[in-house]
Structure formats: structure tokens, C-alpha cells
Amino acid sequence: MPNIHLTYGGSSAHRTIACPGWVKASENLPKRPAGPAAVEGSMYHEVMELCQEQGKEPKNFLGHVYEEDGVEREFTEDDLPLAEIAWKATNDILDKYEIDEMVIEPFVQHTPGLIGGSIDLLGLSEDHKTLMVLDYKFGKKKVPVENSPNLSLYTISAQKDPETAGMFKGVEKVVFVIIQPQVKGVTFTWETDLRPFKPFEKEFIAATKSTDVNPGSHCQWCPAMAYCEAKRLNVMATNLLGARDLGELQAGADALLEIEDWIKSMRQEIYCQLVRGVPIKGWKIINKRATRKWVDEKKLETFLKKEKKLKATDTHVTKLLSPAQMEKVLKKNKVELDLSNHIKSESSGTTLADESNPAEAVIVSDVQGHLKEIMG
């Protein structure tokens, strides 16, 4: 995959349409280092790319190390279940649509050096009538597939790029596919023809020529959010503490996720600037709480045996493995044993989540009575 940075890519397509001014607002801002979740997602993407290119299962790439900006992430046994779900889902959807020709990670450009990106998988059916645009998502928050701006941008870019334009000849149906192994259902599809892409292309090109700033939920991953005056005013204008009736509470609830994203972005940017040596009044970087650890457990065990003042039962604790650990041991030793009657799943309590969370809502009772007591 070419190491070319394009101003407008698939991951920012929705933001570009909703808030075209994000690009100008982000100019000259230093790039933040990728967080653990982003590095992990990229590692999974690279493993899936290797699987498709070499026609091998994920287990063949155990030990593979993904590297980004000096940060390394190894593909381990713990990562295997998620990768296997994605691998099986990919093969199933390719079979369903009889995809015969595939291009893995094609780097396509609608406007050279400006608009485009890398598609996880671009496929064509045996009869050349169905084109598949597939994208992997490894997060827990479900990503909508219908009219996806991300996949739409990839589609119009593939149509324009000389390397892939020929795949569109004779195409009658375009299938968007999002494979998201951490979301119930895993595979999500949307079918259309080529007609929606002309108006989308027109809308997107118009957005690239605009500098309008419109804060909203699309700000979540915007690199300029911590510095955006429009976003700051939008957040400050929302009064969450003065909700006197259900309507005001609903208005506050609607804005809550945006406010949380803004606060998170502010904290990340303050931290990054402090690390770079930029002073921020009222803030500092400190060490997390220190925990005591043995310098060398083997040397300690040797020392304790030599002193002979404590028994092994006094210094070591034997504990039954957790269900997940036990299943790994069974798999490693190739032992088939049904433990389902000995396992139960218990939640530690309830918590608040937005509607995009895949978990089922809990049915609660007598909440109104408690709220009346609290609110007087």
C-alpha cells in the first residue's frame, strides 16, 4: 500500500460533508500518535490483508508484528478468535455474491494527491455484474453500512482511478459490506446500483471547496476539535445542569456524547502538548500510582528456598483458572470437554450507554419513584 497521505479519505468522508471547514482548521496541527485501539485495529487489518493475499487462515500469522510510528503490536493467540470470525465472515460473503475477481487493499485516487484511499477489498462477481466494496471494522460501536460516506468515497475513487475503473464495466449492482466481528450479526450489507454515486460525488466535491464549520457528532475524531471555537461555543451553550423537565433533559442527553468526545479530545491534546514541553496553566503530567512488584520472581524463589524459613504453601497461591483461561488450556492440549454447565455469566451492575451500543437494554423497575426522591 503506497505511503501517500491524501487530504480527503474514506475515514473522514462523513466529516467532510458535514463540516467542510475541518481541513483548514486542522492545518499545521501536529499529528497525534495513534492510540492502542487504533494500533490494534490496524494490526487486525494487516492480518486480514495477509490472509486474503496468501489464502491462509489467521492462525498462520501468529507472531506477526504490526508497526506504526515506532509502536509495535504482535498478533497473538488472544487475537485469534476475532480474526477467525472476520476471516469466516469474509469467505461466506464472497461465496454468497460469487465474487470471482478480487483486489486486496487497492490504493485508489479520485483526484490524485487529494481524494481517495485504500479499500480493504474490492471484488467483482464471475458475471461481472456485481461489484463488492468491503471494509473491516474492529470496534464495538456498530458502523452503519447503508449509504456509507466512507464506502461511497472509495467507490467513486475506484471508478476514476485508471487501475480499477475497468472493473465497473457492465456492473449492475454495487454491494457495500462492513464486517465487524465485535458486533452482533458481524456482516452488514447494502445493495444499490451506480445511480447514487453521481450525486454523492457532486456533493463531496462541493464540500472540498467549502470552509464552512458545522459542529456535531461528526467531530468525534477531528484533529482540530480541541482548537475549534465553533465546537467550544456549541458545547458551552448546552446547559446540562439546569434540566427542569423531560424536554430539557432530552436536549442534554442528545448533546452528552458530543460533549464527552470534546472533553476527551481536549484531554488528549493537553497531554500531547505537555509531553512536547508546551506549558498549559493548571495542568501537569504525573506518574500513575505505583504498584509494588518483584524484581525477579525466580531469584526470589531461590532466595526463599535457601533461607528455608517459609513453606511453599505459605508463599504460593493455587487458584482455579478462569473460564477463558481454562478454554485456552483445553484447546492447547486438544482436549474436548464440555464445561458449559459449570459456567455462568454475571454482570457486576448496570451502566449508561448510547443506543449504538450492541448490548441489549436492561428492563428496570421503580426508577421513577427513585428519581422523584432524588429530584424532590
From the list 62, 200, 177, the residue with the least C-alpha distance to 131 is: 177
Report pLDDT digits (tens) over 32-45.
Answer: 777 888 899 999 99
Q: Is it the case that residue 374 has pLDDT exceeding 50?
A: no
Quick count: other Cβ atoms within 10 Å of Cβ 160?
A: 18
Using alpha carbons, list the distances in angstroms from residue 263 to 23, 31, 90, 249, 287. Answer: 21, 18, 37, 20, 21
Q: What is the pLDDT of residues 67-111, one digit of tens each?
A: 988 889 999 999 999 999 999 999 999 999 999 999 999 999 999
Q: Tens of pLDDT along 179-203?
A: 999 999 999 999 999 999 999 999 9
Exposure on the CB side of residue 194, measured as CA atoms within 13 A: 12
pLDDT higher at 346 or 145: 145
Under the banding of pLDDT at 50, 70 and 90, the label for residue 376 is very low
Distance between CA 224 and CA 236 in Å, rounded?
A: 17
Domain definitions of the chain by residue range: 10-208, 217-275
Of 290, 53, 82, 73, which Cα lies nearest the Cα of 183? Answer: 82
Q: Is the pLDDT of residue 243 over 50?
A: yes
- H or E segment to which residue 92 belongs: helix 80-96
- Taking domain 10-208, whether its CATH number is 3.90.320 is answered by yes
Q: Own/partner pairs for 340-347, CB < 8 Å, 24+ apart?
A: none
Q: What are phi and psi of 81, to 5 degrees?
A: -55, -45
Q: What is the pLDDT of residue 18?
A: 94
As a whole number of angstroms, the distance between CA 325 and CA 320 comes to 9
Q: Give yes or no for residue 144 having a pLDDT over 90.
A: yes
Q: Considering only CA atoms, which of 58, 50, 54 is closest in space to residue 83?
A: 58
* Tens digits of residue pLDDT in 166-178: 999 999 999 999 9
With both helix axes pointing from N to C terminus, report the angle between 197-208 and 149-160 in degrees, rounded to the nearest 10: 100
Q: What is the pTM of this model?
A: 0.72
| Number of neighbours of residue 170 by Cβ within 10 angstroms | 10
146 beta partners: none
